[in-house]
């Protein structure tokens, strides 16, 4: 039996279905990721079809039935369309990457209000601030890793428990994790970080304004996060959105 429910949701992606409908993937506050169909959405007269656009934050009404592959979406009202993001290719690149992360690495019917609120917060910042878009994306990426259970908030060497901030360099092995220079010299090293860059990664979620990041450092952090997830999650192949613009 289905019930009528309402929720705010981000539009993650959409695709045409049949002669006039659209299938959409959304990330909602109350229900997590939701796949739905909007009948008649491609008609020029359809108001809902225009509102449900990728990246938009909308309030949707749909018939929810457990076990059904596609929920039937009957209404959508626009909450925000983030116009400044959509008019700036750099901001759009990283906003699209956020949508893609959530689409690829969350599961349907698994509500996570903290993650939804994090999306609202970071997209509002991307839309309104002059902060480097790549830095804002990386801040969300680290937050996202924490929320899906792949956090990297570490202070000590995985082998000898020494404080990593005291090591001249911090070394990383996919299986063993972060190590001090002494322990890392005995193992295959996947990544090598200066202590300064390692501390910058750890402090991303703390909004430490004493740190500044070069473009090269930001690109290095993204590359590490991407390869970290690719190694740990078999079905994850990386973000296409990072290559689009």
Which tens digits make up the pLDDT trace of 82-113?
999 999 999 999 999 999 999 999 999 999 99
- Please, what is the average pLDDT of the chain? 93
The pLDDT tens digits for 41-92 are 888 888 888 899 999 999 999 999 888 889 999 999 999 999 999 999 999 9
Residue 24 lies in a domain: yes
Which pLDDT score, from 0 to 100, does residue 202 have?
86
The pLDDT tens digits for 115-132 are 999 999 999 999 999 999
Distance CA 127, CA 86 (A): 9
Which pLDDT score, from 0 to 100, does residue 66 have?
87
Residue 87 lies in a domain: no
Distance CA 235, CA 170 (A): 28
Q: How confident is the model at residue 23 (pLDDT cuts 50, 70, 90)?
A: very high
DSSP structure class, residue 114: H
Q: How confident is the model at residue 206 (pLDDT cuts 50, 70, 90)?
A: low
Residue 91 lies in a domain: no
CB of 199 closer than 8 Å to CB of 210: no
Distance CA 183, CA 185 (A): 5
Which pLDDT score, from 0 to 100, does residue 207 have?
61
Residue 121 lies in a domain: no
Residue count of the chain, please give it: 245
Q: Tell whether the model's pLDDT for residue 205 goes beyond 80.
A: no
Residue 10 lies in a domain: yes
> Phi/psi at 205 (nearest 5 deg)?
-80, -10
Distance CA 135, CA 53 (A): 25
Which pLDDT score, from 0 to 100, does residue 41 have?
85
Residue 194: which residues within 8 A CB-CB, separation 6 or more?
A: 169, 170
Residue 40 lies in a domain: yes
State what percent of residues in the chain have pLDDT above 90. 81
Structurally, how many domains does the chain consist of?
1
Pairing of strands 191-194, 169-173: antiparallel
Domain interval for residue 33:
1-81
> Phi/psi at 27 (nearest 5 deg)?
-115, 115
Tokens of 153: 């908030």
The pLDDT tens digits for 166-175 are 999 999 999 9
Residue 75 lies in a domain: yes
User: What is the CB-side half-sphere exposure of residue 84 using CA atoms within 13 A?
Assistant: 9
CB of 36 closer than 8 Å to CB of 71: yes
CB of 15 closer than 8 Å to CB of 22: yes
Of residues 27, 31, 34, the one with CA closest to residue 57: 27
- For helices 133-147 and 113-128, the axis angle rounded to 10 degrees is 180
Distance CA 9, CA 124 (A): 14
Residue 26 lies in a domain: yes
CATH assignment at residue 46: 2.40.50.140
DSSP structure class, residue 244: T
């Amino acid at each position: 039996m289905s019930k009528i429910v309402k929720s705010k949701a981000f539009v993650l992606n959409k695709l045409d279905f049949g002669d006039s409908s659209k299938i959409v993937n959304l990330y909602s506050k109350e229900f997590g990721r939701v796949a739905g169909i909007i009948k008649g959405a491609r008609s020029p007269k359809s108001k809902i079809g225009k509102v449900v656009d990728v990246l938009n934050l909308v309030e949707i009404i749909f018939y929810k039935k457990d076990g059904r592959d596609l929920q039937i979406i009957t209404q959508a009202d626009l909450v925000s369309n983030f116009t400044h993001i959509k008019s700036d290719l750099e901001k759009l690149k990283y906003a699209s990457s956020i949508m893609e992360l959530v689409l690829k690495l969350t599961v349907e019917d698994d509500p996570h209000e903290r993650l939804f609120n994090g999306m609202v917060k970071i997209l509002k910042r991307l839309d309104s601030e002059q902060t480097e878009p790549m830095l804002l994306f990386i801040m969300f990426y680290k937050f996202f890793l924490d929320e899906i259970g792949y956090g990297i908030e570490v202070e000590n060497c995985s082998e000898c428990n020494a404080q990593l901030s005291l090591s001249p360099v911090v070394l990383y092995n996919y299986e063993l994790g972060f190590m001090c220079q002494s322990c890392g010299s005995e193992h295959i090293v996947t990544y090598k970080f200066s202590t300064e860059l390692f501390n910058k990664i750890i402090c991303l979620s703390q909004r430490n304004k004493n740190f500044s990041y070069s473009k090269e450092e930001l690109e290095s952090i993204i590359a590490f996060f991407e390869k970290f997830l690719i190694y740990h999650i078999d079905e994850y192949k990386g973000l296409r959105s990072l290559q689009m613009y």
